[in-house]
Chain A
Amino acid sequence: MNALPLWAEIVVGVLALASGMFALLGALGMTRLRTFFQRMHPTALVSTAAAWCVSLACVVYFSVTEGRLSLSYWLIVVMLAITVPITTTLLARAALFRTRQENMPGVPPPLHTEHTDFGAPH
């Protein structure tokens, strides 16, 4: 394996550390926050900031050691951007449904349709 030049070592190190910090902060947020809906937000730090930093570190590391641009690690970011919103929105919908079922405060009623076509297929 080729040795990394100093600048690349620093860049990769800083990015990997930053990724760890963001992930730790996201986890800390989960313990600090009290309501479920607030807890949905720190996890976005892990799936964006932390994942972006570690993917960028991989791109830099493997581009330098292999001597050519290897962008395949950036696909992780693209795939996360496609898949994470699906689970997050599903969780939010489930939480909304259950909070409304139990008549707990702090949740708005369902959005009404503008036209009275309730139940009609469209």
Chain B
Amino acid sequence: MSKLFPAPLLSLALAAMWLLLNDSLSAGHLLLALLFGWLLPLLFAPLRPQRPTIRHPLRIARYIVRIGWDVVLSNWEVTWDLIRFRAKPVRSAFVAVPLDLRDPSALGALAMVTTVVPGTVWCELARDSHAVLLHVWNLEDEATFIAHYKRVYEAPLLEIFE
């Protein structure tokens, strides 16, 4: 099973993407989707030497919904801050956040999530990945920001990947 499907979630995502791109559920496209979902992860397995171990696939869905909601909220915040920028400038700052994550794939996911949510940009990871430097659009209190960031974004990834 694991030899045939080295990355079952990736296979599923590729098949779903093929069907969405063609916007069709015909037998031919279903067959092609199965083929791509099976073959591409096999062909690309040598390019991913460190295969991530994903523990709780269902929690990924919950995490994605949470991120989606946070994107909406922080879009409003950044929009609002931009509109009244002349009257009330924001306090942008660099923040070093200590990390517990070590898995490279999990760190990649965290970097992606951090940068997708408006208001935070992933800038620099320490060489031993014990901390990351973020640039925050509007920093009110450093300690609460770090606690919030670790609880909302890092803790679920720790559960999913490690």
Q: Which residues of A contact B (CB under 8 A)?
A: 22, 25, 28-29, 32-33, 35, 37-38, 40-42, 44-45, 47-49, 52, 70-72, 74-75, 81-82, 84-85, 88-89, 92-93, 96, 107-108, 110-115, 117-118, 122
| Interface secondary structure of B, over-half rule | mixed
Cβ A114 vs Cβ B116 within 8 A: no
**Other A-B pairs beyond A89-B111, A92-B122, A93-B124, 17, CB < 8 Å:** A25-B82, A28-B82, A37-B135, A38-B137, A45-B118, A48-B117, A49-B75, A72-B20, A84-B115, A85-B111, A88-B115, A92-B135, A93-B123, A107-B94, A111-B124, A113-B126, A113-B130
Contact of A44 with B82 at beta-carbon distance under 8 Å, contacts A85-B122, A92-B135, A111-B126 already known: no
Q: Nearest-CB distance from A101 to chain B (Å)?
A: 14
- Using a Cβ cutoff of 8 Å, how many contacts connect chains A and B? 118
Residues of A within 8 A of B78 (CB): 41-42, 44-45
Write the residues of chain B forming the contact surface with A, with a CB cutoff of 8 angstroms. Answer: 17, 20-21, 23, 71-72, 75, 78-79, 82-83, 85-86, 90, 92, 94, 96, 111-112, 114-119, 121-128, 130-133, 135, 137
